[in-house]
Amino acid sequence: MIGRLNHVAIVVPDLAAAAETYRTTLGAKVSDPLDLPDHGVTTVFVELPNTKIELLHPLGEGSTIAKFLSNNASGGIHHVCYEVEDIIAARDKLKADGLRVLGDGEPKIGAHGKPVLFLHPKDLFGTLVEIEQV
């Protein structure tokens, strides 16, 4: 069911500094910041030959990652994202197999303009998993 690894998301305390490190020190292609109010984050994508790194920073008071950053002041890996062909079929199979979909269970539009869902980390060995329809 899951396809390729789309990205690994890292929460960072200083988005500009993290983007600059990836751009200048590591020599990567880095996108401009994008605010995603529906998700409570500002995101930057680091393009790699085989996948992407998503740098995340809280956006606003109600950000879903603000608590993560308060518990991990220097940041850290937040989630991994896998591609799926049909997000509704994937959601229904995962739920039938006992996995919990976070939120209301309906896909939201993610940073790539495509539908996404998140799966409970307790169901996937301590890892928050995002699925994204390709």
- Give the active site residues: 130
Contact residues for 81 (Cβ-Cβ < 8 A; gap 6+): 5, 6, 7, 8, 9, 54, 116, 129, 130, 131, 132
Round to whole Å and give the CA distance between 4 and 18.
Answer: 25
Residue 129: which of 18, 107, 118 has the closest Cα?
118
Round to whole Å and give the CA distance between 82 and 78.
Answer: 14
Neighbours of 35 (CB within 10 A): 13
